[in-house]
Amino acid sequence: METQDYIQNRINTNIRQYEELSKKYHKCHIGFMIACFSCFIGVVILDIVYLIIPVIWLILASCVLILAGLFLLFFDVLNDYSSKSLEYKYKANLLCYEKNLYQAKQSGFKGFAFRCERFM
């Protein structure tokens, strides 16, 4: 298999796949963080309303929102979406480095490519 075919068929395909997975897990992480933030802001708003209108249901709703926010936070931490996103981003960067190394070898920078390969 020629270098250009290898780059097109294997490396570029895997780079796109890893970048898509990285974006997917990053969106999951950000979504959970926004949901947690919304729950905790809801608690603050309900507590302020409780100072104006003392109704027991507002306190119960605050407790439910606190529990929901903590559940979402722990669900995100247990599934480690942030770490998975960074891991796939790192793999995509390594494949980009490998692609550049193959292109350097192909274009005649063999000394440069050898030095890069040692650090890979």
**Do residues 19 and 87 make contact, with C-beta atoms less than 8 angstroms apart?**
no
* CA–CA distance, 101 with 109 (Å, rounded to integer): 9
User: What are the distances in angstroms from CA 24 to CA 32, 33, 36, 40?
Assistant: 13, 14, 19, 25
Neighbours of 87 (CB within 10 A): 15
pLDDT (mean) for 92-118: 72
Return the pLDDT at 114. 58
- CA–CA distance, 89 with 82 (Å, rounded to integer): 11
pLDDT digits (tens, 9 = 90+) for 3-53: 677 777 778 888 888 889 899 999 989 998 999 999 999 999 988 888 888
Q: How far is CA 120 from the centre of its chain?
A: 24
Q: Please provide the DSSP assignment of 92-108 as one string.
A: HHHHHHHHHHHHHHHTT
pLDDT tens digit sequence for 53-99: 888 888 888 899 999 988 888 888 888 888 889 899 998 888 888 88
**pLDDT score for 112:** 60
CB 108 within 8 A of CB 6: no
Q: Is the pTM of this model over 0.85?
A: no
